[in-house]
Structure 1
Amino acid sequence: MMITPKHIKKSIKGDYRLIVISDIHGHLDRFKALLQKVKYTPDDYLIILGDFVEKGDQVIETIHYVKQLSQNKRTFVLAGNCEWALDALLTVPELAGQIPQYLERVSTNGCIRDVYHLLHLDDGSETMLGVQKKLAEYLKEEIQFISHLPVTLKFNQFIFVHAGVEKRKDYQESSLSSLLEMQYFYDEGHILDETVIVGHLPTSNYFADHICNDIIIDQKKKIICIDGGTGVKAVSQLNALIIESQNNQIQYTCEHVQPLPIYWIIEDVYEPMEYVHKIGYPHFEVKVEKSGSQFSECYQAETHQRLLIKNEFLYQKKNKTYCLDDYTDFMISALSGEYVKLLGVYDEYAYVIYKNQVGWIKYEYLKAI
């Protein structure tokens, strides 16, 4: 059964506490840690804003846990584009032939891949339609749950939707593609009186000069974006937006989890930088102007930026060069005794988070706590 647009409303009076989490992408441990961090209780309203499946390695467990939470009448689970894609891929016969492409290009982790290997469907003995039927049978319970999810929730003065709504008062008539996959909602805005809260696109996409996955609260646009990039970005976090209403006054707070190892800085570091550059979605194509042993001098045409890119972040495809992910050339200056969160080690340099700023520091200046 395919997901069909279903729109629900909830109107309550009095004080309340509401927690919104989006784009969990099969990272159940992060999700549970975040619920614990925000001190979630069954008395809270909880909204899961879609895309809790695929990309992670705990997808089936996440579906079961989300389903369990949804038994509470104060929990609302919405569909995202990943739930729609999973449902369609396993229930529409015409899409069976796309399963190999999905496994190769779309979801390097996820429940389809897990079950595909578990049932030894990669041995070539089944037609793709046969593969689809076996996957659907194994995941019958999970598909049944996600196929009945609503796509929007109006909760008092808020509208919750995975990706966005079209510029129309009857937002429920927006196309399913817009509701689940809209790419430019934050840029284009809406015409509703309510504040629209979305996930879908990592908030890092909207920061021009640095990498940041924090929640964006834009009261002028009446838009809140909460996707922290979990399962999508190399630098990511799982965000929670907490909305508290007391005496008809709304207060927002934000929390996140970002499980990364902590390292001490063991020597003063000074790296003077006149400008800091960032490469981000969708401008990943670059031209290498001068190769170096650690970093290469590159030019990004659309943003007119020249910057140093770590060689490990460069790759070739169809005779073009691309940067692997969101990237910054920020070189960190710091004092001995301060600490960083370690994202990765690339030859002589470490990619770290220092005081909420992503950047580079020589690995020899770090010591694990």
Structure 2
Amino acid sequence: MRRTVVISDIHGYYETFKALLNLVQYNAIHDRLVLLGDYVDGGPSSLKVVQHVRALAKLSGVKAIGGNHDDMFLNWLDDRDYIFSPYSTARNGGRQTIRSFCPWYEDESDDERARIFIKQKYAQEVHFLRNLKYFIEDDHHIYVHAGIDPKLSHWSQTSTKDFRWIRGEFHAHDGILPIFKKIVFGHEVTAKLHHSKEFHPWFGKQLIGIDGGIKFGFQLNALIISDDLKYTYSSMESKD
């Protein structure tokens, strides 16, 4: 029986990502793999994650979308950083990402040189991130990074910003959305959805949150969906 393996919010934890795929015995021939964005920021190996995801996405059974942190990296790269919360701050985790591309990077004084270097040396990786889709849909699920706008008459009209940034307004509509498919998303660490210190996937009425908070030192989750729509999961603590 084929499975769909869904992983979100890898955040530069390359060894952990590989270990989790090994743990669930991911098989590129028999399994589908859906990746929900936030490949960068926080962990030490964002470049390796982006390169690995890019390679995987060339396979017919793999789909990848982008997340808000991928957008933040691109905004910094285009010199459109948010002035009140610079990309390279510890909270955002951007410094680790920049250093994975430019090991010589020290601080903001190196920004312009780093931008030029990354755009020239890693043009294919940047092009890949720029062209990631905002959602994936199959017969039974909608896969997004953050969520959809519950106020709209049809969820697909959600703005590109909300697909990658929305939080509480979306979660509050669990069970009353006029959608007959479950929505699988990352972005919000599941402990907040559980209202406890549990970081495994959160199963609502219509919504399934899977961000295990690896960026904050917790775990990376893989949601596994069987073809008969049974849900299981595996988790991996940091290996990086």
TM range (shorter): 0.7 to 0.9
- Hey, which of these two has a bigger chunk of helix by percent? 2
The answer for the alignment partner of 1:157 in structure 2 is 140
Tell me, which stretches of 5 or more residues in structure 2 are unaligned?
Answer: none
Question: What are the equivalent positions in structure 2 for 1:56-135 lying under 5 Å apart?
Answer: 56-91=43-78, 93=79, 95=80, 98=83, 101-105=86-90, 106-107=92-93, 109-115=95-101, 118=104, 122=107, 124=109, 132-135=115-118
Partner Cα separation in structure 2 for residue 256 and residue 223 of structure 1: 19
The answer for the alignment partner of 1:197 in structure 2 is 184
Q: Determine if contact 1:166/1:174 at 8 Å carries over to the other structure.
A: yes
Higher radius of gyration, 1 or 2:
1
Quick one: which of 13, 30, 41 aligns to 1:27? 13
Quick one: which of 201, 224, 232 aligns to 1:242? 224
SS in 1 for 2:116: helix
SS in 1 for 2:214: coil
Aligned length: 233
Closer, same or farther: CA 30–170 of 1 in aligned 2, 3 Å: same
The answer for the alignment partner of 1:230 in structure 2 is 214
Quick one: which of 128, 132, 142 aligns to 1:145? 128
Partner Cα separation in structure 1 for residue 183 and residue 42 of structure 2: 26
Q: 1:225: Cα distance to partner?
A: 0.5
Identity of aligned residues (%): 25
Q: Determine if contact 2:214/2:238 at 8 Å carries over to the other structure.
A: no
Partner Cα separation in structure 1 for residue 70 and residue 200 of structure 2: 24
Q: Deviations over 1:177-236 (max 9, x none)?
A: 21001121222333211110000011011233x311011112x2x1000000011x24x1
Question: What are the equivalent positions in structure 2 for 1:184-333 lying under 5 Å apart?
Answer: 184=168, 185-189=170-174, 190-208=177-195, 210-218=196-204, 220=205, 222-231=206-215, 233-234=216-217, 236-245=218-227, 249-259=228-238
The answer for the alignment partner of 2:159 in structure 1 is 175
Runs of 4+ residues deviating >6 angstroms: none
Partner Cα separation in structure 1 for residue 57 and residue 183 of structure 2: 22
Partner Cα separation in structure 1 for residue 10 and residue 190 of structure 2: 14
Q: 1:96: Cα distance to partner?
A: 5.6
Length-normalised TM-score, structure 1 = 0.58
Q: Determine if contact 2:73/2:94 at 8 Å carries over to the other structure.
A: no
Q: Name the amino acid aligned to 1:155.
A: D
Q: Determine if contact 2:214/2:237 at 8 Å carries over to the other structure.
A: no
Partner Cα separation in structure 1 for residue 64 and residue 234 of structure 2: 20
* Higher relative contact order, chain-length normalized (CA < 8 Å, sep 6+): 2
Partner Cα separation in structure 2 for residue 178 and residue 121 of structure 1: 33
- Hey, which of these two has a bigger chunk of strand by percent? 1
